[in-house]
Amino acid sequence: MKILPLAAESLGVRSMATYVEAGRTGILIDPGATLAESRFNLPPAEEELEALGRARDRIVAFAARAETVFISHYHEDHFFPEPAMYATRRVLAKDPRRMIGGLQARRAGELWRSLDRVAHLESADGRVGECGNLAFKVSPPLAHGPEGTALGYCLVLTLTDRAEDFRFVFASDVQGPLSSVATAYLIRERPHLLYLSGPPSYLEKQLGRDVIDRAIDNLERVIDTTGCRTIMDHYALRDGNTRERFARLWEGNRVVTAAGYLGLRDSLLEAKRCVLWASRRKPPAKIEPGEAVARRKPLARIEPGSMSRPRKWTRRAEGGRPW
């Protein structure tokens, strides 16, 4: 089984898009990517826009190779809404009517209507089946973070290559996992490789330190129990302090980023947005030695008799009084 992260925070954009291939079977997972409209009160930098363009090109290219597309939920960084990308393919997507609401429900309805006659669309919730050389199993809806979160629910996909006896679990936006239910589910799946969104440390001030610590403990429990290797990305990499905050997890190379899994250096562009914008500001102009800083225009000369009445002329000297 070949597993190829296509876009991720460690590759410069908000995404978890992944391509999985076994033999002639190709599955594209969560084919979407976005940028934060505002971080640190700044819009995306030029480097982020370029990274998004590259990510989109990769996702579209691998969509052409895939036989099946899986969509875990309907946040915009997890799917593109263009019907042409899914045409003639089998699409396993979260049920648009079950445990969903708000903007996700609207996006889901729009996508399902647009794909009705162009793709083979199936509700994925709790589904078990086969895609060519791979067996798949989809979880029931699990919390997108802590239980009861307003962010809704997402699906976890398990892919098993029976020929290699290898299990890959794509856990999407379980955020740590923060939920004890999601933690128990991941342990039960016993992955050899786990890919998940890590704890949202960039929101620690709002959520509290104990919440992030609980997510770290839950992930350590999954790893210690199953012995799996883990790709942790997405929410965990939006903070410039991610290496220090998750030091316990990075130790021993048992947890890597998507970029690290590919053998690349992390490109945490959103976390460095302030630095990216600062580097684009023009430096102060240089004054060469001896160059005049300012020149004062001389007073106009008044010829005798050129004015019929005397006029009071004043000039304010630097730091002085009119005269």
The pLDDT of residue 280:
83
The pLDDT of residue 3:
98
What secondary structure, in 3-state letters, does the chain show?
A: CEEEECCCHHHCCECCCEEEEECCEEEEECCCCECCCCECCECCCHHHHHHHHHHHHHHHHHHCCCCEEEECCCCCCCCCCCHHHCCCCEEEECCCCCCCCHHHHHHHHHHHHHHCCCCEEEECCCCEEEECCEEEEECCCEECCCCCCCCCEECCEEEEECCCCEEEEECCCCCCCCCHHHHHHHHHHCCCEEEEECCCHHHHHHHCHHHHHHHHHHHHHHHHHHCCEEEEEHHHHCCCCHHHHCHHHHHHHCEECHHHHCCCCCCCCCCCHHHHHHCCCCCCCCCCCCCCCCCCCCCCCCCCCCCCCCCCCCCECCCCCEC
Report the predicted TM-score, pTM, of the whole model to 2 decimal places: 0.86
* pLDDT at residue 263 tops 50: yes
Q: What pLDDT, in 10s, does the model give residues 68-93? A: 999 999 999 999 999 999 999 999 99
The pLDDT of residue 290:
54
- CATH 3.60.15.10 is right for the domain spanning 2-278: yes
Mean pLDDT of the chain: 90
Residue ranges per structural domain of the chain: 2-278
Per mean pLDDT, which range of 14-18, 274-278, 303-307 is the poorest?
A: 303-307
* pLDDT at residue 294 tops 80: no
**pLDDT level of residue 291 (50, 70, 90 thresholds):** low
